[in-house]
Amino acid sequence: MVRADRHSDVVRGLYQRVGGPQRNVVRLGSGPRAQSPLGEHLRADRSSATLELARRSLRTGAAKEFIRWLSVTLVLGLGFLSGQLIAWRELASRGVYLASNPGSSFFYVLTAAHGIHLLGGVVALGYVVLRARRIAFGEVRRTPLEVTAIYWHFMDALWIYLFFVLLNWM
């Protein structure tokens, strides 16, 4: 397991590598409401796990469990997005903006692109949650759930990939 301090080093290294000023380097996990990239990564992984628990509950006919795990997945997805917004606000409060340097531009664009795609997944998941009772009782097809699950797991795998790309880039 990678330590949280290593993730601060990733962010610091990212800014130093592209020539960003040291004063704009944010040590994530150092502020009162600091967000750790590791925490966001784990939240994404947990949301994939809860989505799978929901699908398994549906297969076994446990409708209440299905709806509960699906709702937990939605909350974790919203939490991931809010964590990204909090991280952006923390960076902005420390003077790191989109146009501050190439490193900050890269970070904002990369996380914004991922966030927009994840927002699409959250909307799809919200749709499935609204129809969860009907899906659980066989009144409608499971196709929206299955397609959303594929997309959700892809986004999680992409986040893991991006995380390790940044980690190893240093």
- DSSP per-residue letters across 46-84: HHHHHHHHHHHHHHTT-HHHHHHHHHHHHHHHHHHHHHH
Q: Rounded distance, CA 4 to CA 67, Å? A: 33
Q: Tell me the one-letter amino acid at 66.
A: F
Range of the domain at 88: 4-169
Residues 18-57 have pLDDT tens digits of 334 444 444 444 444 444 454 555 566 788 999 999 999 9
Are 132 and 67 a contacting pair, CB within 8 Å? Answer: yes
Residues 142-158 have pLDDT tens digits of 999 999 999 999 998 88
- pLDDT value, residue 128: 97
Predicted TM-score of the model (pTM): 0.73
Q: How many distinct structural domains can be found in the chain?
A: 1
Handedness of CA 167, 35, 82, 131 (dihedral sign): positive
Which two three-digit tokens encode residue 67? 């709806």
CATH, residue 45: 1.20.120.80
